[in-house]
Amino acid sequence: MEQVSAQLDALPPLPCSLQRLLGIVQDENASAADLEHLIRHDEALCAKILRMANSAFYGHRGGVRTLSRAILTIGFHEVKSICLVELLMASFPVKENDSRREREKLWKHALMTAKHAAEIARVRPWVRGDEAYDLGLLHDLGWLVMLVHFHGHYQRVQVISAEQGIPLHVAERGHGLTHTQVGKWIALRWGLPAVYHFVMAYHHAPEESPSMRPAVKMVALGHLLAHMREQGELVGMDHVASLCADLRIPEEEWRKHAGKVAQVGEEVDRLWRLLN
């Protein structure tokens, strides 16, 4: 464990632009102007946002020329999360092809979780919808860090998962460092608000979270919905039922969420193609 924490300590510090973006994410009063300012100073990001605003996805082929129009077109929260994904990807670059595939899987899962969590929060606003989205987006950040910085360990867990046909988070149990530990550590080191620690550390066992359980449970439910698309047969319905009961989500409401799994999956696929 000591070795691990030494390795964790050796991780690169938070890049400046990411730090500023996280400031915007946490600030309820942050405006589009703040975001625009941030993007303007990052050429790659700027180009990407403009490209996305002009894509068929948003229906403005070539019509959007300024960044402020682009933010209006795509939406403040969406641009915020696109920036988050972009900057995080830049902060944790991968080289090999199979790592790229893994990364894609992780990000798609994160985006789906985020979308589902936001949708759940829209109907049952235990937390704000955009907060749920950001929490969902970052909940499995631990995996991304492991993929890049503990690649060997990640591959071992991946092999165990594939051989035994169990989810990654079950496979890593009893094999040292877990993605929830890494996630919590990252949240602490980056100075994210407490709710991010709890979500990153406890989204597989929300009952154990010492506080802010509704937020954790919401992301856990979003995570399970995302899993339903990826590996549907592995989702424990008992777990779902108890989470729904705690969040006061009636069965028919849950069914509505579950019915959107495929649609959300396609949206995320499209978004991913746009991002790359």
Partner 1 sequence: MNIEELLRNELLEVRRKEVEKTGVLTMLYRLMELLPRKLGVKQTCEELVRIVMEETDFENCSIALWDAAEKSLCFVAAYGLPELLDEEVDFAYHRDLKFRSGRDVASKVFESGEPVFIEDTNSQPIPRKNSAVVNPACLVCLPLLDLGILNMSASHPRKFSDEKQRNWVLMGNIIGQLISTALMNERLRDANQILEYEVEQKTRAYEERNRELTQANQILEKIIDHAPEGICLLDAEGVLVRINRSMLKFQGDEASAAIGASPEIFFKNPQVFRDLMEEVAKTEQKLLLDVSMTGPGGRQQQVDVFLTGLPDEEGKTRGYLLVIYDMSEKKAFSDQLLRTEKLAALGTMAGGVAHDFNNMLMRVLGNTQLLLLHVEDEVARSRLQNIESAVQDAAQTLKRLQTFAGKEGNADSIAGVVDVNEIVRDVVEFTRPRWKDSMEKHGKSIDLTLDLAPTCLARVSPSDLREALAAVVLNAVDAMPAGGVLKVFTACDDQEAIIEIRDTGCGMASDVVRRIFDPFFSTKGVSNSGLGLSVAWNLIHRHKGDIRVVSEPGTGSQFWIHLPKVDGQQRFRAPSNGPQESSPRHVLLVDDDEEILRLLRDMIRMSGHKVSATADGKEALSLIETEDFDLVFSDMGMPLVSGWEIARRVKERSPLVPVILITGWGTQYEEEDLSREGIDLVLSKPLSFEKLKAILQRFL
Identify residues 198-217 at the interface with partner 1 (CB under 8 A): 212-214
Among 245, 262, 263, 270, interactor with partner 1 by CB under 8 A: 245
Among 25, 67, 240, 247, interactor with partner 1 by CB under 8 A: 247
Among 39, 249, 264, 271, interactor with partner 1 by CB under 8 A: 249
CB 262 within 8 A of CB 229: yes
Among 127, 146, 192, 224, interactor with partner 1 by CB under 8 A: 127
CB 221 within 8 A of CB 240: yes
244 near partner 1, judged by CB under 8 A:
yes
248 near partner 1, judged by CB under 8 A:
yes
Q: How far is the CB of 127 from partner 1 (least distance, A)?
A: 7
Location of structure tokens 């759940």: 120
265 near partner 1, judged by CB under 8 A:
no
Instruction: Determine the interface stretch with partner 1 among 69-77, 106-114, 118-126, 219-227 (rule: CB under 8 A).
Output: 118-126
Among 33, 44, 47, 123, interactor with partner 1 by CB under 8 A: 123
47 near partner 1, judged by CB under 8 A:
no
Phi-psi group of 75: left, alpha or beta (phi > 0 → left; psi -120 to 50 → alpha; rest → beta)? left
CB 151 within 8 A of CB 99: yes
- Residue 18 or 224 having the CB closest to partner 1: 224
- Residue 55 or 242 having the CB closest to partner 1: 242
Q: How far is the CB of 248 from partner 1 (least distance, A)?
A: 4
Identify residues 222-241 at the interface with partner 1 (CB under 8 A): 241
Q: How far is the CB of 241 from partner 1 (least distance, A)?
A: 7
Q: How far is the CB of 218 from partner 1 (least distance, A)?
A: 10
- The Cα 274–Cα 245 span in angstroms is 37
Among 44, 162, 250, 263, interactor with partner 1 by CB under 8 A: 250
125 near partner 1, judged by CB under 8 A:
yes
C-alpha distances in Å from residue 245, one per residue of 209, 217, 224? 17, 11, 15
- Residue 171 or 218 having the CB closest to partner 1: 218
The footprint of partner 1 (CB under 8 A) covers 123-127, 212-214, 241, 244-250
